[in-house]
Amino acid sequence: MTFLQRAIGAAKLDVGVFEEIEADRTATGQALLIVVLSTAAAGIGLTASDAPVLHRVMLALLFWVL
């Protein structure tokens, strides 16, 4: 299964995709990429702050970590 198929399956909350990812020991890099992309999107979309985009992206990453 490709990275894009996994990302779409995870977004659809497909249990089979989650089980496949859990069994794949090499999927950590893909998971990290999803976290980075999602926090970047959240930081760009965060309009409640007048802070620069980079600060908003870092804030979104901090929220993800917490």
Burial of 34 (0-12, 13-18, 19+ CB in 10 A): middle
Torsion of CA 10, 61, 49, 41, to 10 degrees: -40
**Domain encompassing residue 12:** 3-65
pLDDT for the residue numbered 12: 94
| Structural domain total, the chain | 1
Quick one: 7 exposed, middle or buried, by C-beta within 10 A (0-12, 13-18, 19+)? middle
pLDDT score for 41: 85
Instruction: Write the pLDDT tens digit of every residue in 8-64.
Output: 999 999 999 999 999 999 888 998 888 888 888 888 887 776 778 888 888 888 888
